[in-house]
Amino acid sequence: MKFRKKPVVIDAWEFDGRLDFSKTLPKEIKDHGHIRLTQDGKLRIPTLEGDMFANTGDWIIKGIQGEFYPCKPDIFKKTYEPVT
């Protein structure tokens, strides 16, 4: 049996790696409260599967249940397209 992913519109932001991420990420992510910048410049994102880390250039996706998780740029480009 094969399945196709349902079309879902998501919110996503590219992590630019700036140390002052409070000025570069949207209020929605900052207000999440548990997403933190690590000392080595990664973004730590707690998920149900454990902590995940976003590097510069990764995308931060808000899932359909309001959860956040990182996505590598090549996977993001293959999976998502802009909505107009």
The pLDDT value recorded for residue 8 is: 87
Q: 24: which residues sit within 8 A by CB, 6+ positions away?
A: 15, 16, 18
Question: pLDDT tens across 31-65, in order?
Answer: 766 888 888 889 999 988 999 999 999 999 988 88
Please answer whether residues 25 and 13 qualify as being in contact, where contact means their C-beta atoms are separated by less than 8 angstroms. yes
Mean pLDDT score of the chain, rounded to an integer? 85
For the chain, the 3-state helix, strand and coil shares in percent, each to the nearest 5, are: 15, 30, 55
The pLDDT value recorded for residue 77 is: 94
Q: Which of 12-16, 50-54, 65-69 has the highest mean pLDDT?
A: 50-54
Of residues 13 and 27, more confidence is placed in 13
